[in-house]
Amino acid sequence: MKFYSLNNSNVQASFKEAVIAGIAPDKGLYFPEEIRPLSTEFFENIDSYSNHEIAFKAIHQFVSADIPDQVLKEIIENVLDFNFPVVEIEENVATLELFHGPTMAFKDVGARFMANCLGYFSKGENNEVTVLVATSGDTGGAVANGFLGVKGVNVVILYPSGKVSDIQEKQLTTLGQNIVAMEVNGTFDDCQRMVKNAFLDTKITDQRKLTSANSINIARWLPQLFYFLFAYKQAKQEGKEIIFSVPSGNFGNICAGIVAQELGMPVKHFIASTNANTVVPNFMKNGVYEPMPSIATISNAMDVGDPSNFIRIRHLYQDDFSTIKKNLSSYSFSDDATKSTMKEIYSKSGYVTDPHGAVGYLGLKEYQKSNPDVYGIFLETAHPVKFLDVVEDTLGLSPEIPPQIQKVMGKEKKSIKINSYEGLKSYLMDS
Ligand SMILES: *Cc1c(COP(=O)(O)O)cnc(C)c1O
């Protein structure tokens, strides 16, 4: 299958080319030329398939021209070696726990899938690829972990000094091998700007093949559709219409859910739940997309003022406002509402949510006010321990530190400190 640029459908690439390049030469996001629905038989009998079989069927059409079936099966087995349970916490309200992977954030699946694809594509090539990525927290750890030890691929992660949590910093600075962490004296926006400059800097790109590992890359974005199928498999027996509420920042995850819908998965509605960053909730009111500077919140993995994947969602719904509205609602919630909801959920059901999951829960409840009979699933995108300070302050309890986090806590941090773009440039030119 080919992928075309959303800026110009004549600009096309194979899966392999699109994964290696990240973004199209005209700076458009890549998009699959078609999405062929899976059979109704498959959705009716989905509970008789294993997660590996489901994932294989769902992603096969997109990658099969470049990845042989046997290799794809192995990749899927490597990537999906943990569970995705749907946990019911109230009548008609359940959470899909996406945090059982190695870094306890949902980004593990996309990062691992992309790493496995790039690893496969760089076999037999002598030109190494450098993955360059800026992180405000969770992306860095998932990417570092996913790419660790992948031959032919080097990873450089930029993060803002002092602005990620201790756990997040350990996850991206202690692995070594092919993973380099650059600690930037600045903000996340500064890190992102440096990464963008490097991609445009021909002195660097003449010498080094660069790619990005954020959700604009199709190999990180598309496999996220697996979650929705796994949730559907578990919730189908309820016999009700299903809705998903997705805590959203760059809108890659929810957009992958919409691809699952295009594949034929029965779903009544999607809810994009956001914090104080209201670009999409505003769009849903008046159809005007107006990016704004990002606002810092306690659900900081969603502090995005210009969500890069929203253009893919518009395209999936033919950029037709009434089709978008029929399928998608979007609500925004304050930090105060998020905290009181974390308390309320805990006191009602004993369930501990992280701030992102709590925003998802709020969006779900908002929709159910006028649609009380639907079965709602909100995505729990990170383990509460990843946002320890907020959880401790709000709930007055300390979640137990899981083994995969304990493992990195004692390790020594190694980072390269940089103050400006020149620091990144000289590293990329000279190392
Ligand atoms: C990245 C992230 C999100 C936002 O996901 P998008 O695909 O960017 O919308 C939500 N929650 C957590 C914990 C994250 O790390």
**What is the best residue among 274, 356, 359, 362 to mutate for testing ligand 1's pocket, by most ligand atoms within 8 Å of CB?**
356
CB-defined site of ligand 1, < 6 Å: 105, 107, 138, 215, 247-253, 301-302, 356, 381-382
C-alpha of residue 39 to centroid of ligand 1, in Å: 30
Q: Is 107 a catalytic residue?
A: yes
What's the whole-model pTM score?
A: 0.95
Q: Which atom of ligand 1 lies nearest, measured to the CA of 256?
A: 7
- 315 contacts 6 by C-beta, under 8 angstroms: yes
* pLDDT tens per residue, range 63-111: 999 999 999 999 999 999 999 999 999 999 999 999 999 999 899 999 9
* pLDDT tens per residue, range 295-324: 889 998 998 888 999 999 999 999 999 999
**Residue with CA closest to ligand 1 atom 2:** 301
* pLDDT tens per residue, range 205-233: 999 999 989 888 999 999 999 999 999 99
Residue 402 token pair? 């899981």
**pLDDT tens, N- to C-terminus, the chain (431 residues):** 999 999 999 999 999 999 999 989 998 999 999 999 999 999 999 999 999 999 999 999 999 999 999 999 999 999 999 999 999 999 999 999 999 999 998 999 999 999 999 999 988 888 899 999 998 878 899 999 999 999 999 999 999 998 888 888 999 999 999 999 999 998 888 898 899 899 889 999 999 999 989 888 999 999 999 999 999 999 999 999 999 999 999 999 999 999 999 999 999 999 999 999 999 999 999 999 999 988 889 998 998 888 999 999 999 999 999 999 999 999 999 999 999 999 999 999 999 999 999 999 999 999 999 999 999 999 999 999 989 999 999 999 998 899 989 988 889 999 999 999 999 999 999 88
CA distance 12 to 163: 38
CA distance 364 to 93: 8
Active site residue: 2, 16, 107, 163, which one?
107
- 315 contacts 353 by C-beta, under 8 angstroms: no
Grouping H, G, I as helix, E, B as strand and the rest as coil, residue 328 is strand
**Residue with CA closest to ligand 1 atom 11:** 381
Q: Give me the residue spans of the domains in the chain.
A: 83-103+221-399
CA distance 317 to 324: 6
Work out whether strand 8-14 and strand 2-5 pair parallel, antiparallel, or are unpaired. Answer: antiparallel
Q: Residue 431 has what pLDDT?
A: 82
Q: What CATH number was assigned to the domain covering residues 83-103+221-399?
A: 3.40.50.1100
Helix (H) or strand (E) holding 387: none
